[in-house]
Structure 1
Amino acid sequence: MDSDKTVLVSTPMFGRYSEASKQLLRDCGCEFVELSRDEAADRDVLFDHLEDVNAWIVGYTEIDEAVFDRAPNLEIIAKHGTGVDNIDLDVAEERDVVVANAPGANANGVAELVVLHMLNYYRDLVAGDATVRDRQWGGDIGRELAEKTIGIIGLGEIGQTVVKRTQGFDLTYLSHDMADRSAFEEEYGVEDVADLDDLLSRSDFVTVHLPLTEGTRGLIGESELEAMNSDACIINTARGGIVDEAALADALAADEIGGAALDVLESEPPSAGEPYDTLLSDDRVTFTPHIGGKTEEAMGEISSLTARNIRNVFEGDEPVHRVR
């Protein structure tokens, strides 16, 4: 491997919980250029640092053709996470730039957040906390998770981890996935449901675990929400664009579903106006600020995979996880 490789880092999470990840690249002769998220979002600042960059560790910075034009020496973009919808993959392929990510490293953290949202939906922990802080007492009668049905849209590593982490609740599991997951489904008693509306109509909870692509954008829209039970809850910890948020606001207003738990939004943070004015004012919706995979353990493992992806490419090998 050539020495003196320059690695641009535009996410503060890289190496924060895994110093060994940075050391791995230093041992390969890499030098770091680190930008804050605000600096990376400022194109004038960003463009000043791209000419000599060989690798880029990216979080949410948009990487489009204009960015590629300013980075002629770029060999690999390593997403510090899973979703690559902020990277123009077609241009990356045209420029022969490897795109790699770190799938599965955050699976446990996301799955645990799904469980937390399920429990909160039935026991209203947020409202209970507010009641006590107001020096009041009491609370509504809750429900139990035992013997309920959970529909999992996308039975990849995160979806599978949701199944594993909820085994003690005696749930019925339904899954909808284009890939063959038959071995896992047989082992864990998951029913494969080819018809999405069928899964939606039979589920007490629906949890989404898909990447955001042109094929999945708006996948859960007006007709899908109408197919759900009137007391069911939809949980989205994947990407905001997969659930049509305007349709979700309408479905809640019409009492077509019972509630929602959203860790991701199409606009993060939520922009002014609709549908967020309606969603934010509805106490049947619980929000978390895209924290599903943000655990110390997950961040450390993601950093490790990210560093290994870059090292492998610099050494002429395949990255651990290639996207394009």
Structure 2
Amino acid sequence: MGKILITPRGYAKYGEEYKKQLEAAGYEVDWNDTGKPVPREVFVEKAKEAEGIIVGVDSCNRELLLQCKNLKSIVKFGIGVDNIDLPTCEEMGIKVGRCVGTNSNAVAELTVGMMFACARDLVSNAMDVKNHEWVKPTGFELYGKKVGIIGFGNIGKHVARMANGIGMQVYCYDAFPVKQEVLDEYHATFTTVEDILKNCDFISLHVPLTEETKDMISTEEFKMMKKTAVLVNAARGGIVNEHAIYEALKNGEVKAVASDVWTTEPPKDEDWIQELLAMKNFILTAHIASRSQEAEINTVKRSTEVMLDNLM
């Protein structure tokens, strides 16, 4: 009987029905129902025996994969596969699957929520009140503002849909051509990254982390933005240079930055990072954009389907 290892906590929370499907297909399922991340040494030992792995953030690097002699399939419990060594998987004949679209709406909703939070100083003002301070900042509305969406895939399109409902002007860029009928559907204007950086009031990132996108927003890009601009990153840590965020906010180059991701999660305890976290115009959440109940259930279902397809 082949073994399937499942590490994401969300699968154990919502996946009893789908675990039974895997077992009915003849597999022994070893899932993480501890409510805690799987320790690396435990993950390594279990992965060595697995025929399939449904993985969250655990690193499936070359060193690990070469020890997995039975492994036929890895399914990412989400979209980004930057924690999976794809060339080694190809070399070893390991199929890699993703759960495209299952959490797109959840990520988009958090993205737009970040825009509102930055525009109206919601986080800092709520903290002020908790600290018995009654401060009344004057923010600005999203209606009529320009939003630039860099990466016009599933998530970017959902952001555009919501932005249209708010009454924003939507601009987008993608590395791949976007058909005019798609642009028309989302009332979006295709443009360049430079144009978005220079002219948009809100800039939202929805690209994968690759060699090409690493540090795509850094010191030079911040200097191109409006001083009133808000940058939101709900994609991947490393796409925005984090020390450049610190410098840009410290120097007043942009109004605010909100991020759901960080290069090393949680952030390291360094002085400049602690200073950044204390800034009222910086928001960092704990990589929760995809963590809605609806998205978790969608992803459990899809990851099961992809795993069974890959193992057939």
Tell me which of 137, 155, 159 is aligned to 1:158: 155
Distance 2:83 2:168 in 1: 35
How much has 1:142 moved relative to structure 2? 2.0
Q: Does 1:108 align with 2:112?
A: no
Q: Is the 8 A contact 2:9 2:36 kept in 1?
A: no
Q: Does 1:77 align with 2:40?
A: no
Q: Which amino acid aligns with 1:184?
A: V
How much has 1:138 moved relative to structure 2? 4.6
TM-score of the superposed pair, with normalisation by structure 1: 0.91
How much has 1:13 moved relative to structure 2? 1.4
Match in the other structure for 2:273: 276
Distance 1:47 1:253 in 2: 42
Distance 2:255 2:272 in 1: 17
Q: Is the 8 A contact 2:77 2:303 kept in 1?
A: yes
Match in the other structure for 2:118: 121
Task: Note the residue ranges of structure 1 that are not aligned, 5 or more in a row.
Answer: 316-324
Match in the other structure for 1:188: 186
Q: Is the 8 A contact 1:245 1:275 kept in 2?
A: no
SS in 2 for 1:213: coil
Q: Is the 8 A contact 2:9 2:37 kept in 1?
A: no
Tell me which of 211, 216, 221 is aligned to 2:208: 211
SS in 2 for 1:269: coil
SS in 2 for 1:235: strand
SS in 1 for 2:249: helix
Q: Which amino acid aligns with 2:145?
A: K
Q: Is the 8 A contact 2:22 2:29 kept in 1?
A: no
Distance 2:66 2:116 in 1: 48
Tell me which of 188, 196, 200 is aligned to 2:197: 200
Query: Structure 2 vs 1, CA of residues 298 and 27 (structure 1 numbering), >3 Å: closer, same or farther?
Result: same
Match in the other structure for 2:249: 252
Moved more, 249-258 or 239-248: 249-258
Q: Does 1:301 align with 2:301?
A: no
Q: Which amino acid aligns with 2:191?
A: V
SS in 2 for 1:78: strand
**CA deviation digits over 1:211-241, x for unaligned, max 9?**
1111111111111111110010100000010
Q: Is the 8 A contact 1:212 1:239 kept in 2?
A: yes
SS in 1 for 2:257: strand
Match in the other structure for 2:62: 65
Moved more, 298-307 or 266-275: 266-275
**CA deviation digits over 1:172-197, x for unaligned, max 9?**
11111111222321222211113x12
Moved more, 208-217 or 16-25: 16-25
Distance 1:91 1:188 in 2: 38
SS in 2 for 1:175: strand
**CA deviation digits over 1:35-65, x for unaligned, max 9?**
468774432x333323331000111111112
Q: Is the 8 A contact 2:2 2:51 kept in 1?
A: yes
Q: Which amino acid aligns with 1:192?
A: F
How many pairs were matched up? 310
CA RMSD in angstroms, aligned pairs only: 1.7
Q: Is the 8 A contact 1:246 1:274 kept in 2?
A: no
How much has 1:15 moved relative to structure 2? 4.2
Q: Does 1:87 align with 2:87?
A: no
Moved more, 146-155 or 8-17: 8-17
**CA deviation digits over 1:99-129, x for unaligned, max 9?**
1110211111111111111111111222332
Query: Structure 2 vs 1, CA of residues 125 and 161 (structure 1 numbering), >3 Å: closer, same or farther?
Result: same
How much has 1:168 moved relative to structure 2? 2.1
How much has 1:283 moved relative to structure 2? 1.1
**CA deviation digits over 1:61-95, x for unaligned, max 9?**
11112211221010000111111111111111100
Query: Structure 2 vs 1, CA of residues 39 and 102 (structure 1 numbering), >3 Å: closer, same or farther?
Result: closer
Q: Is the 8 A contact 1:16 1:300 kept in 2?
A: no
Match in the other structure for 1:173: 170
Task: Note the residue ranges of structure 2 that are not aligned, 5 or more in a row.
Answer: none
Q: Is the 8 A contact 1:41 1:61 kept in 2?
A: no
TM-score of the superposed pair, with normalisation by structure 2: 0.94
Q: Which amino acid aligns with 1:92?
A: C
